[in-house]
Amino acid sequence: MRVSLCVVGRLKAGPEADLVSDYLTRFDRTGRALGLGPARVVEVEDRKGGGKPGEAALLRRALPRGAAVCALDERGRAMTSPGFAALLGRHRDAGAPDMAFLIGGADGLDPALVGEADTVLSLGPMVWPHMLARAMLAEQLYRAASILAGSPYHRV
């Protein structure tokens, strides 16, 4: 199952971009034998200033056809890392060819787009900058693959 991070905004070179790249590379290596990956980042930018609805339209176009969709939103469901791994495993085992994760810009995702998602996930009760949310999601993808592989990376 391929994984796409469909995100608003461009991530400039720097520590956040390095973290995302590192964790997605680890995810690809660990997930390959498990039927997970590759992972890719699709960045969209609303240059016409359409606000959240404009960003939502761009994100919809970035979604792979038939993908299971998970929107990151502060009002979403908080999960444990094993629970997140189980979510990935369920979609993979159900035959989903793709899973897409949506990360909004500074103002979050359009509520209509959040309502269309199969899953709405929160990274916790605090609000995170979208660039850090990207790195945190990439790490959790790697952690999920490690959990599914039985690797000792995730300690309880």
* Within a domain: 154: no
Domain that residue 7 falls in: 2-149
> Residue 103 to residues 30, 74, 95, 113, 148: CA-CA distances in angstroms?
23, 11, 24, 11, 24
Q: What is the CATH number of the domain that holds 24?
A: 3.40.1280.10
Residue 101 confidence (pLDDT) above 90: yes
* Within a domain: 43: yes
Residue 152 confidence (pLDDT) above 90: no
Residue 53 confidence (pLDDT) above 80: yes
Q: Give the full edge-to-edge strand order of the sheet including 98-103.
A: 39-44, 2-8, 98-103, 68-78, 119-122
* Within a domain: 22: yes
Number of structural domains found in the chain: 1
Asked if residues 30 and 149 have their Cβ atoms less than 8 Å apart, the reply is: yes
pLDDT given at position 119: 97
pLDDT given at position 79: 96
Alpha-carbon span 15 to 46, nearest angstrom: 24
pLDDT given at position 156: 65
